[in-house]
Chains A and B, each alone.
Chain A
Amino acid sequence: MLTYFFKRLGLAAVIVSVAMFILFCMIYLIPGDPASVALGPRATEEMRASLREAMGLNQPVPVQFWNFYSSAWMGDLGTEVLSGRPVLTVVLEQLPYTLALIAGGITWSVALGIPLGCWAAVSRGSWADRIVGILSVAVIAVPSFVIAIYALLIFAVQLRWLPAIGAGEPGDLGDQLTHLILPSLAVGLGWVGYIARMVRASMLEVLEASHIRTARAFGLPDRMITYRYALSIAILPTVTLLGVGIGQMLSSAVFAEIVFARPGVGKLVYDAILTRNFPVVSGTVLVTTVLFVLLNLLADLIIGALDPRVRSSF
């Protein structure tokens, strides 16, 4: 298990490195001058030149990449243009808000998705199955920011049941949770559908497997077959799916933070673009990418812990 962990960790590091390389290529090799982007149209040629110098843009490209790469691994993502604070600090300040939002989204999607999918699979072909099927397809289809705006419109503006903006009073957990309900629903609703569908499909597949036929042939009770024999296997793809899904939830979180005016990395990067705060943009992209890769790694480890076949193949 330990070798498995280190193997996966090594692979994750390689993927992050390649991602950094791609990011570097995008920033520095695509036509367009980061210095002019950062300074805006009214900057003088002198200002651009000095910033270029400061950003190291006059050095050869491989050296630039090495500087970018090595300092990023050391945690140095540059400094914010306006305040001069380290970008990493700024991003890490905002990260907990986004993580809370994603955790909320996962909670919605797991708490609703798994039971719904299981129910649909067990009552296959019934009305319940069909309704769950149509609803999950529908919530997957509609983009999360549309859900966010309509949720805001209905529950906050029209009905006034829940707060519309902000993350709640610091220190007041209840208030913070109330503020989390709508944004996390917007983030997680689509994933309720994904998970319900995935659980249903893999449940049906597992229920067809010959070891389930064997279990039935031994007269095991239906509850034991459904939950201990089938769901324990059917849940595995869901964990992988969630690992992948966290990337999309990060995307949805950006919209949710903007719509509900919540602090978080999405709001941070959006504001940074509007103010041409370039290092913050690339730093945030990098941090969220690392976060995504790490959470994927976590999903793989969970699978390894749940599935003896995976465990022993490493």
Chain B
Amino acid sequence: MAELWRPIRKILREPLGALGLFLVVLVIFGAIFADLLTSFDPTRINPRDRFQGPSAAHLMGTDQLGRDLFARVLHGGRIALFVALVSTAASLVIGIVLGLIAGYGPRWLDNLMILLFDAMKSFPTVMLALALVTIMGPSLTAVMVVVILVTVPGYARIIRTQTIALKNSEYVTAAQSMGANPARILRVHILPNVIGPLVILASMDIPVVIGIEAGMSFLGLGVRPPTPSWGSMLNDGFTSIRDTAWIAIAGGIPIILTTLGFTFLGETLRDVFDPRLKGR
């Protein structure tokens, strides 16, 4: 338990880290206990209560279909966190594997993979998302595929660069001279030394992923209605922004708080555990 407690104490010592941790815990708490925190069904249409401003009954008001915005915000958090965690984890695994192969494999394979990564990265994110959604149709899966396609090349490149640097380090050469096979070298000597910084960098990408999900849902290319998503709420609010600004505010505030929370937490994590990465 003390092992777990020490890093948390270190984070709490930094004001920004404490704020970030608080926001992140708040969002996760809201998503997990959404059903306990509100009695409204986020998808239930209630034409009589359309466009109601914030009140004691509806903490954040209602939207154009009379759905309770607070309930939608809480349930939207589930979608956002699910996409962020699952696709980031998948990207990490894929990126690490590809990066290790590119960095430690033969030169031609490395060159080929670098070319593929660079080509993938040369699509502007939204353009890639638009092209994919045109084919696959809007869905949560499409969002996750976009996230993976967008983030994997970057992770793989980082791992590759580090692997190449370590491949020529004296301790890896020493392991080779002792007769260690590539699998052992990757597992024992390279992976433990490259994975830490990448996990921190990936944790700092969580807000970016949340932004992609919200952005795609905002464009109507992500989560299908009536599933609540912060992005689609923002779109609902944007449509009627001149008259009922609270809908846009209700959709935007959770995005801002969540991305800020994860960013502040990630920054602090990095500064505390791996100061060398600063400024990346």
| Contact of B54 with A by CB under 8 A | no
Which stretch from A49-57, A106-114, A207-215, A278-286 is at the chain B interface? A278-286
A27 pairs with B135, CB closer than 8 A? yes
B214 touches A143 (CB 8 A): yes
Asked if A184 is at the interface of the complex by the 8 Å CB criterion, the answer is: no
A247 with B121: CB separation less than 8 A: yes
The interface residues of chain A, by DSSP majority, are classed as: helix
B 247-264 to A, binary, CB cutoff 8 A, 1 in contact else 0:
011001001100110111
Flag if B260 contacts A138 (CB, 8 Å).
yes
- Asked whether, in the complex, the Cβ of A22 is within 8 Å of the Cβ of B124, the reply is no
Size of the chain B interface, CB-CB below 8 angstroms: 50
Chain B contact surface mostly: helix
- Are A22 and B120 touching (Cβ within 8 A)? yes
Q: Which of B132, B134, B215, B259 has the most CB of A within 10 A?
A: B134
C-alpha gap A54/B189 in the complex (Å) = 56
Determine whether A259 belongs to the interface, using a CB cutoff of 8 Å to chain B. yes
Chain B residues with CB under 8 Å of A197's CB are: 279
Does B238 touch A at the CB level, under 8 Å? yes
Which segment of A10-18, A82-90, A219-227, A302-310 sits at the interface? A10-18
Contacting pair B219 A137 (CB below 8 A): no
Q: How far is the CA of A311 from the CA of B202 in the complex (A)?
A: 34
Residue of A22, A251, A288 with most partner-chain B CB within 10 A: A251
* B259→A145 contact, CB < 8 A: no
Write out, one digit per residue, whether chain A residues 24-37 have a CB within 8 A of any chain B CB (1) or not (0): 00110010101001
User: Is A254 engaged at the interface, CB distance under 8 Å to the other chain?
Assistant: yes
Contacts beyond the supplied A157-B242, A202-B279: 4 A-B pairs with Cβ under 8 Å: A15-B119, A21-B119, A143-B259, A250-B127
Chain A contacts to B: CB under 8 angstroms: 14-16, 18-19, 21-23, 26-27, 30, 32, 34, 37, 134, 137-138, 140-143, 145-146, 149-150, 152-153, 157-158, 197-198, 200-202, 204-205, 244, 247-248, 250-251, 254-255, 258-259, 266, 269-270, 273, 278, 281-282, 284-285, 288-289, 292-293, 296
The residues of B with any CB-CB pair to A shorter than 8 Å are 16, 115-116, 118-128, 130-137, 207, 210-211, 214-215, 218-219, 221, 234, 237-238, 241-242, 245, 248-249, 252, 255-256, 259-260, 262-264, 267, 278-280
